[in-house]
Structure 1
Amino acid sequence: MSVLSTYRSLARWPAGRWLFSRLVCWKAPYFSSIAPRIEVLEPGRCIATLRHRRAVTNHIGTVHAIALCNLAEFTGGLACDASIPGSMRWIPKGMTVAYLKKAVGTMRATATPAFPPREAAEGYELPFEVVVENPAGEAVFKATIAMWISPKG
């Protein structure tokens, strides 16, 4: 069962998106450190939130920069998985980030591909753009994640 079909089957139930978020963190335990919550997962887009709490706070009282990077990789990876053809696989190859303003409150990340994924006989790079906004809807962080898309096999 694909990540997207699992999400779709769970999301329609009460607490289904919460459960799916926990399952992703169980499969990739490092993401548990930020306790992300998925709001939307569909081909071409993933939206997830990160609650501002002590575990992700830095010395100046804002959401830690690396917690924002983790949220970007979480949403970018899920968006990629939900978007690429079933015959292809992905792995992050690199990430560039920009910290735009202090991150305070629940962060909301939206990840989208720079162009539509395609099936291919050889690997190619597909950038995913991630914008993280504060509760006022202001962009506080942006990332571009270079995903390497290649045929399974």
Structure 2
Amino acid sequence: MTDIQPNLKLYRKMEKLPFGRFLFSQAVCFKAPYFRSIKPRILHLEPGHAQVKMRKRRAVQNHIGTVHAIAMCNLAEFAGGMMTDITIPTTHRWIPKGMTVAYLKKAATHVTAHASVEVPTPWPDSGELITHVDIKDTAGNIVAQMDISMWVTRRK
């Protein structure tokens, strides 16, 4: 892959600035407004890996005061999607196709999504790319795991 994805290029510039990662996260939420509901903050972003934090606050809690399961799914899609976007070649595009979810324990604290993927070499013209996401609490315990199926094809 010779070209760098535009989002990765922008992230690398912005992360060096004061509040750069915060502003980049805000820009992504402006482009995809649904993610604003969880107020994600990108902590780390590189091809094949991403870390994104979501604070535990009332808007993302369920009736028992823990982080809502669907808020964690939203966080997983944000992290997995951003990581996929900067990992695939500039000649390709992607869309989420499905997600399998395992809730392992209550998320009683802020949570961080750790997204990763095995990068195929060479890249096929089209195919399914499975993005794995672990959601961890502040103690480092995995509270949920997601596998997101991304459909990747060549741009037309």
Which residue of the partner structure matches residue 13 of structure 1? 17
- Check the 8 A contact 1:87/1:119 in 2, yes or no: no
Which residue of the partner structure matches residue 138 of structure 2? 135
- 1:40 is aligned to 2:47: no
Aligned length: 151
For the residue of structure 2 that corresponds to 1:39, the secondary structure is strand
Measured after TM superposition, the shift of residue 25 of structure 1 is 0.2
Which residue of the partner structure matches residue 75 of structure 1? 79
For the residue of structure 1 that corresponds to 2:107, the secondary structure is coil
1-structure distance, mates of 2:123, 2:69:
34
2-structure distance, mates of 1:50, 1:142:
15
- Check the 8 A contact 1:88/1:119 in 2, yes or no: no
Unaligned runs of 5+ in 1: none
**Identity among equivalent pairs (%):** 52
Match of 1:53 among 53, 57, 63: 57
For the residue of structure 2 that corresponds to 1:19, the secondary structure is helix
Measured after TM superposition, the shift of residue 11 of structure 1 is 0.4
Q: Please report the TM-score for the alignment, with normalisation by the length of structure 1.
A: 0.96
2-structure distance, mates of 1:94, 1:128:
11
Measured after TM superposition, the shift of residue 105 of structure 1 is 1.1
2-structure distance, mates of 1:22, 1:141:
25
Give CA deviations for 1:33-58 in whole Å, capped at 9, x if unaligned.
Answer: 00000000100001000000000010
For the residue of structure 1 that corresponds to 2:12, the secondary structure is helix
Measured after TM superposition, the shift of residue 82 of structure 1 is 1.1
1:21-32 map, 5 Å:
21-32=25-36
Give CA deviations for 1:106-134 in whole Å, capped at 9, x if unaligned.
Answer: 10111011x2144323x100000000000
- Check the 8 A contact 1:52/1:63 in 2, yes or no: yes
Q: Please report the TM-score for the alignment, with normalisation by the length of structure 2.
A: 0.94
- Check the 8 A contact 1:10/1:16 in 2, yes or no: yes
Match of 1:91 among 70, 95, 98: 95
Unaligned runs of 5+ in 2: none
Which residue of the partner structure matches residue 129 of structure 2? 126
- 1:110 is aligned to 2:114: yes
1-structure distance, mates of 2:108, 2:9:
33
2-structure distance, mates of 1:70, 1:141:
12
2-structure distance, mates of 1:119, 1:28:
27
Q: Moved runs in structure 1, 4+ residues, more than 4 A? A: none
